Structure 1
Amino acid sequence: MMLLRYLSQIGKYFLMWKEIFRKQTKWSVMKNLIFKEIDELIIDSLGIVAFISVFVGGVVAIQTALNLDNPLIPKNLIGYATRESVILEFSPTFISIVMAGKMGSFITSSIGSMRVTEQIDALEVMGINSLNYLVFPKLIAIILYPFVIGISMFLGVFGGYIATVYGGFGTSIDFINGVQSDFMPFHVTYAFIKTFIFGILLASVPSFHGYYMKGGALEVGKASTVAFVWTSVLIIFVNYLLTQLLLT
């Protein structure tokens, strides 16, 4: 019974994608909606992303330095390990899970509140494709999400540099040499491919749970929790698949 319910939800999710593009809202209206979503989803996320990135990058560098007990291991390994950890996993995956809580909960609660207050029904009565009106601007705004992750990568490595140099774990030259050592440009490409797909999940899964929720104000909170859980699970699952496909 539960399997049938999950299959039904998956089918409804893919039908939602079809409806999003079925009937487009006028560009004069859509343009303002897109700018509004960019401000709420992208610009408003920069602060928390910057804060987390700097300090977690510093923690990665310190933990790496504390495990270098052998004097034969070069100190530039700190910069190398920090770069690899931040680019490959921390920035694209960990930050996306954080955004599933911050960004995803906001999307679910905002759309869910419109469902509870019958604003979505009012849009349908006026002949507006409510899914296109509500979800499409979020999908367009999330195209800029890799920009957020790019900033996270830079600040994560910068946080590692600050922690290493000013914490007395290594010199500036050693850290920079480590960051430059054995650099593979495809790792950055891989990270941005993941980020783009994670962004689509961040916009679509919470929108789905908010749009199709039933009940009153209490269910809005429940829908936000469920959306966060499923978005995080899908991010981790897709991360595994992409790692197998692109790095092995």
Structure 2
Amino acid sequence: MKKVTLKFFEFIGKMILDIIHMAGKMSILLYEISKSIFKPPFRFKLFVKQIEFIGYKSIPIIILTGLFTGMVFSLQSFKGLDNFGAGEMTSGLVAMAMIWELAPVLTGIMVAARAGSAMTAELGTMKVTEQIDALDAMAVDPIHYLAVPRMLAGMFSMPLLNAICIIFGIIGSYFVLVGMMGTGSSIFFENMVLYTTLSDIIDSLIKSFVFGLIVVNVSCYNGFNTTTGAEGVGKATNVSVVESSILVCMFDYILTSVLIL
């Protein structure tokens, strides 16, 4: 029994130390990227290329995510609120939920799954094929050349994708509540405006900005630390998506606590 207990605490202790070690290395990478952002030259073409990849090419999946999330949430919320004679308030509830939580979190997770995994795979492949070492040999800083354009593009694109998700979530809600449930169009927009403010939208954009930073930082970290060939690339890609999703949810709570209080 003692051996089992000892092994259990040994496992927990090792896991905690591994998490602390990983968090420290990610923080160092974030610090290095932050320093490199202000160093010349500014690679505008790489920045635009990454905006296209992270932002523009993510628009279809964000539209579908926002649209169906708004539709499903409206359908379920209307059914619950209508039991208390408050079905007309559903649009306000959906707008609050999309702006405060659903849009930023779902956008972060979707971008991590689509763009973050691809970034990790690309950088991981460059790592195992020694292309990153070749950049070092040519006196080109890999962080400045590879990570900085991705970080800037992620922080720029994520708030815009979040706004798109909110808009299409409301469109989906409008289709369900007005088109299917018979809520008046004027009542739909009145309740939506009544229960949401400009500060709510700003808080949502702040969240998405931070989530963009998190997703790119985690993706670059796992890409730069990929080992053991093709198997390592696959493992790093999987770990990157899982870590990004967990950190998005974790920082969602932290940011919500800070912004509300």
Supply the AA of the counterpart residue of 2:183.
G
1:17 aligns with 2:30: yes
1:216 maps to 229
1:38 aligns with 2:51: yes
1:166 aligns with 2:166: no
1:149 aligns with 2:149: no
Question: Where do 5+ consecutive residues of structure 2 fail to align?
Answer: 1-13
1:62 aligns with 2:75: yes
2:5 maps to none
Task: Deviation per CA, 1:73-102: give whole Å up to 9, x if none.
Answer: 2x4311111101111111011221122111
Contact persistence 2:29–2:217 (CA under 8 A): no
Q: Which of 20, 28, 47 matches 1:7?
A: 20
Q: Which of 28, 47, 65 matches 2:60?
A: 47
2:41 maps to 26
Q: CA deviation at 1:18?
A: 3.7
Supply the AA of the counterpart residue of 2:88.
N
Q: Which of 245, 248, 258 matches 1:232?
A: 245
Q: For 1:69 and 1:199, how far apart are their aligned partners in 2?
A: 37
SS in 2 for 1:154: helix
Q: CA deviation at 1:144?
A: 2.6
1:104 aligns with 2:119: no
Q: Pick closer, same or farther for the CA change 1:76–1:215 going to 2, 3 Å.
A: same
Which range is displaced more, 94-103 or 112-121?
94-103
SS in 2 for 1:170: coil
Q: For 1:196 and 1:71, how far apart are their aligned partners in 2?
A: 38
Q: Pick closer, same or farther for the CA change 1:67–1:8 going to 2, 3 Å.
A: closer
1:176 maps to 189
1:191 maps to 204
Q: CA deviation at 1:67?
A: 1.6
Q: For 2:177 and 2:15, how far apart are their aligned partners in 1?
A: 51
2:98 maps to 86
Identity %, equivalent residues: 29
Whichever structure has more helix as a proportion of its residues is: 2
Q: CA deviation at 1:159?
A: 0.9
Contact persistence 2:66–2:165 (CA under 8 A): yes
Q: Which of 128, 152, 159 matches 2:140?
A: 128
2:11 maps to none
Question: Where do 5+ consecutive residues of structure 1 fail to align?
Answer: none
Q: For 2:94 and 2:64, how far apart are their aligned partners in 1?
A: 17
Supply the AA of the counterpart residue of 2:93.
A
1:115 maps to 127
Using the size of structure 2 for normalisation, the TM-score is 0.88
